Amino acid sequence: MRTMWTIARREYSRYFTTPAAYLAAFLFLLVLGIIFYANIAASTMRSFMMPGSAPGVEIIVNPMTTLLVFIVPALTMRLLAEEQRMGTIELLLTSPVRDAELIVGKWLGSFLFVATLIVIALLYPVALNQLVSPGIDWGPVITGFLGLLLMAATLTALGTAVSSLFNNQIAAFVATLALFLLLWLLGFPSQSMGGSNLWQYLDLSHHFYDTFARGILDTRDVIYYLSGAALGLFAGTVIIETRRWR
């Protein structure tokens, strides 16, 4: 357990010394800020024609899910791909570190960094609460940000697993982004053509927009995201174990 936390702290600290992480964080908050400002400006214009209309928290929460799909691959691509490129993975594999501790430590460091960005983004609901009268409904804010944290746990776990497959960060980024987009769009054919509900259940966005974003806390969605995170960590551990025994 101590080894896992040591790896997690090291990975979390490395994000604050990596230009790519700063760029990803800057773009995440910048794009979110632009969307927030655009919605506030549009709402101000509508209020002249329809008094009483005010933007909801969805103008903040909903765009963050899409941003995570693109930002997380940039944050997880180096976790194990860089270790393999530099050859330091061999040192880790021969050290007294369990494969699961290595994977969970790497994942935890990246998840904590993404969670930090999500917590910083709480400034937008606080600002929105000051701009609208009589204030916003904090229920969807709480469930929405809880859903974002659960989604971030799943995405970072899957990103960690994909990173363990490559020794090139760009290849890891492209493969991770492709996987995320596949999971994000998985339910669209089922919705448009009335296909099997299985694809809709596997859809990453379905478990967020239909419940968390609406202020609904459904244990089935919590289990889905926790299962996705566990699957990613398990897959990453198996991949590392395979490398150990080559």
* pLDDT value, residue 160: 94
Other residues' Cβ atoms within 10 Å of the Cβ of residue 8? 20
Tokens of 172: 């890891």
Closest-CA residue to 33 (of 135, 124, 142): 124
Closest-CA residue to 208 (of 151, 163, 160, 167): 151
Residue range 127-168, pLDDT digits in tens: 888 877 777 778 888 999 999 999 999 999 999 999 989 888
Residue range 75-128, pLDDT digits in tens: 999 888 887 777 677 666 667 778 888 899 999 999 999 999 999 999 988 888
DSSP letter at 121 equals T
Residue with tokens 């632009």: 34
Residue range 12-36, pLDDT digits in tens: 998 988 888 889 889 998 999 898 8
Predicted TM-score (pTM) of the model is 0.88
* pLDDT value, residue 49: 43
Would you say 186 and 202 are in contact if contact means Cβ atoms under 8 Å apart?
Answer: yes
> To the nearest whole percent, how much of the chain has pLDDT over 70?
86
Q: Write down the mean pLDDT value for the chain.
A: 84
Q: What is the mean pLDDT of residues 214-242?
A: 91
Would you say 184 and 65 are in contact if contact means Cβ atoms under 8 Å apart?
Answer: no
Domain residue extents for the chain = 2-244
Other residues' Cβ atoms within 10 Å of the Cβ of residue 169? 18
* pLDDT value, residue 140: 84
CA distances in angstroms from 32 to 116, 124, 171, 174, 212, listed in the order given: 15, 9, 27, 23, 19
* pLDDT value, residue 246: 59
* pLDDT value, residue 151: 95
Conformational region of residue 120, where left means phi above 0, alpha means psi within -120 to 50, and beta covers everything else: alpha
**C-alpha count within 13 angstroms, C-beta hemisphere, residue 75:** 38
Closest-CA residue to 80 (of 170, 166, 176): 166
Conformational region of residue 135, where left means phi above 0, alpha means psi within -120 to 50, and beta covers everything else: left
* pLDDT value, residue 20: 83
Task: Inform me whether the pLDDT recorded for 243 exceeds 90.
Answer: no
Kindly report the backbone phi and psi dihedral angles of residue 46, in degrees, each rounded to the nearest multiple of 5, phi listed first: -70, -30
Residue range 199-211, pLDDT digits in tens: 777 788 888 888 8
